[in-house]
Amino acid sequence: MLLLFSAAAFVACSDDEKKDGPDPVYEVISFEPSKLLTADGKAVSLGDVTMNIWNLGGDYTYHNAFCGKPYATTADFDDVLFTTANGSASFLSYYASQFDAWGGIALAASPDMNPSEQPITQQFSVWAGGGAEGTSTYAVCYDSNTPTEVSPEYMTASGYPTIRFSKACKVLNLWIANSTYVYNWFQGAADDLFQVKITGKKGGSETGSTTVTLIEGNGKLSGWKNVDLQSLGEVDELVFKVQGIDVTSDPSYFCIDEIRLQLL
């Protein structure tokens, strides 16, 4: 009896010691403008962005969007576009004035679950009712490098959508959704395939990756999907790359939101 009591007391003490340790610290990266800053430290503001629509003629104005175009005044923009307000994460993007086109990561609050004869006019829209978990704003990712791999001279530093963290952390999960442009582009052919490979890196070396399928045949993700990223381990960077598409014709857009981190 004495031995059993002593053992129970030891376990209780051990549990108490564990409870005395610091609790894990978590952070959720939500893409609401009030929680973000531009790279030059100003408040992020969504607004109208006018771009030329290739092969369709004329300009088209997208509403409630934010990309690198305003920063490409004297040269192409290819750098950090915005950060979290506390500086824990940076988001890369680019804008090429010659082509009047962007790549990397942008922001939008333009949900649209409607068909269109010109899906490119929906390149900032998400196929959902809004942002993930009841939010309004989300990140739009355009992997412009994967289609450009056939012409590497046009690839950019920010073309693969990339998130950099100021300190190593564990990314627990994020939410992902189809871009309305992509959702309406694929018409349910048997060989339709649209996947996003998410790779974790630390110190420039890969820590692991996971691949999410958004479209396969006539199956299309509608709304937001929660993606577990704990298998990536400790990372200081996330890189997104589209897979399965015909790089000569298929668009390579998708949306992400509500990234949950465990700080180390």
CATH of the domain at 122: 2.60.120
What's CA 131's distance to the chain center, in Å?
12
Mean pLDDT, residues 49-62 taken together = 84
Mean pLDDT, residues 12-38 taken together = 79
Domains identified in the chain, total number: 1
Residue 243 forms beta bridges with which residues? 195
Cβ neighbours for 20, distance < 8 A, ≥ 6 positions apart = none
Report yes or no on 245 lying in a domain: no
pLDDT at 55: 62
Predicted TM-score (pTM) of the model is 0.91
Flag whether pLDDT at 6 surpasses 90.
no
Report yes or no on 122 lying in a domain: yes
CB 251 within 8 A of CB 162: no
pLDDT at 73: 87
Residue 62 domain boundaries: 24-185+222-234+250-263
Report yes or no on 179 lying in a domain: yes
Report yes or no on 206 lying in a domain: no
Report yes or no on 117 lying in a domain: yes
- What tens digit of pLDDT does each residue of 222-255 get? 999 999 999 999 999 999 999 999 999 999 999 9
Flag whether pLDDT at 116 surpasses 50.
yes
Report yes or no on 196 lying in a domain: no
Q: Which of 257, 248, 193 is nearest to 220 (CA)?
A: 193
Residue 92 forms beta bridges with which residues? 80
- The amino acid present at 202, given as its one-letter code, is K
Report yes or no on 14 lying in a domain: no
CB 182 within 8 A of CB 194: yes
Report yes or no on 148 lying in a domain: yes
| Average confidence score pLDDT of the chain | 92
